[in-house]
Amino acid sequence: MRIILLGPPGAGKGTLAGLIKEKSGVVHVSTGDMLREEMKSGSGLGQEVKNFVESGGLVPDEVITKILENRLTRKDEVAKGYMLDGFPRTQPQAEVLDAILEKINQPIDFAFYMEASLPVIIQRLTGRRICRQCGAIFHMTNMPPKEEGKCDECGGEIYQRADDAEETIRKRMDVYLASTTPVIDYYEKQGKLKKVNADKGTEELLNFLLKALDEYNESNQDKISTRD
Ligand code: AMP
């Protein structure tokens, strides 16, 4: 099962992917996480992308598509399926992704579009905190850590992403509207888009996605048995 999670920053893609991973073991591939790892390691690539990431701009298509291609064509757990979060963010990225997946004969099954409104996005992102060590996500109001500044999961230090400052969030939203909206049409035209209102709580979204996955599995099962 290969799914794309689409939606504005703050729609809850990372949170949802974390929960699905817990429930079903499907791997979470996040290009934002990969870039932050590179920045943390201080690699040449990390230094190259730092300004784009911290200012809320987009890393150039050629750079990010190369990183993603390396990840998706590795013969490890991604071969069994994944949830792709943060990619594609432009139509050229969507086209390159299709080309990569066609080469390895592993097309995307569907794109899950999480629509959210600006006030909800700002509330979620300004309060978001992340564990530096294990990546667990918290929220100062909705899901605060038990002990201030410390991760419930691993005791690691909790921090706020530089691009979660309110001004940068607005810039990320502008970038999203200008660059990523065409990606939604792209998957709609392919008949692969499933839309949901992401202003709802996480529990409701999780149930919706798990149900969509079940329905998808059942209908594919039918196709397999009809072919047999
Ligand atoms: P995210 O964690 O998905 O919010 O991504 C954080 C930042 O990483 C974005 O604001 C971009 O600067 C960069 N980034 C992540 N994925 C992509 C992508 N597919 N294309 C370009 N830039 C990206």
Q: Considering the candidates 2, 13, 36, 124, report the single residue annotated as catalytic.
A: 13
Q: Considering the candidates 2, 36, 124, 128, report the single residue annotated as catalytic.
A: 128
- Give the pLDDT score at 228: 41
Q: What is the pLDDT of residues 147-169, one digit of tens each?
A: 999 999 999 999 999 999 999 99
Mean pLDDT of the 41-58 span = 96
* CATH number, domain containing residue 201: 3.40.50.300
Is residue 70 in some structural domain? no
Whether 13 sits among the annotated catalytic residues: the reply is: yes
Q: What is the pLDDT of residues 210-222, one digit of tens each?
A: 888 888 778 776 6
Q: Is the CB of 93 under 6 A from ligand 1?
A: yes
- Give the pLDDT score at 173: 94
Residue type, 205: L
Q: Which domain holds residue 194?
A: 2-26+80-117+169-227
Q: How far is CA 33 from CA 154, 188, 213, in A?
A: 18, 26, 24
| Number of the ligand 1 atom closest to the C-alpha atom of 60 | 21
Rg of the chain (C-alpha set): 18
Is residue 190 in some structural domain? yes
Mean pLDDT of the 69-80 span = 88
Q: Which residues contact 134 (CB under 8 A, 6 or more apart)?
A: 151, 153, 154, 156
Note whether 63 and 87 are within 8 A (CB).
Answer: no
- Residue 225: is its pLDDT beyond 60? no
- Give the pLDDT score at 218: 80
The angle formed by the CA atoms of residues 57, 62 and 65, to the nearest 5 degrees, is 90
Q: Is the CB of 10 under 6 A from ligand 1?
A: no
Is residue 110 in some structural domain? yes
Is residue 93 in some structural domain? yes
Instruction: Please report which confidence band the pLDDT of residue 223 belongs to, taking 50, 70 and 90 as the band edges.
Output: low
Which residue reads 């689409």 in tokens?
A: 6
Is residue 8 in some structural domain? yes
Total domains, the chain? 1
- Give the pLDDT score at 227: 41
Q: Is the CB of 52 under 6 A from ligand 1?
A: yes
Is residue 73 in some structural domain? no
Query: Backbone phi, then psi, for 134, in 5-degree steps?
Result: -110, -5
Is residue 195 in some structural domain? yes
| Number of the ligand 1 atom closest to the C-alpha atom of 172 | 10
- Give the pLDDT score at 222: 60
Alpha helices in the chain (DSSP H): 13-24, 31-41, 44-55, 61-72, 91-103, 118-127, 166-175, 181-189, 202-227
Instruction: Please report which confidence band the pLDDT of residue 64 belongs to, taking 50, 70 and 90 as the band edges.
Output: very high
Q: What is the pLDDT of residues 101-151, one digit of tens each?
A: 999 899 999 999 999 998 999 999 999 999 999 988 899 998 999 999 999
Is residue 107 in some structural domain? yes
Among candidate residues 81, 100, 98, the one with its CA nearest the CA of residue 189: 98
Whether 71 sits among the annotated catalytic residues: the reply is: no
pLDDT higher at 192 or 218: 192
Among candidate residues 101, 104, 103, 75, the one with its CA nearest the CA of residue 88: 101
Neighbouring CB atoms inside 10 A of 83's CB total: 24
Q: Report how far residue 12's alpha carbon sits from residue 139's, in angstroms, rounded to the nearest whole number.
A: 12
Rounded to the nearest integer, the mean pLDDT of the chain is 91
Alpha helices in 176-201 (DSSP H): 181-189
Q: Is the CB of 158 under 6 A from ligand 1?
A: no
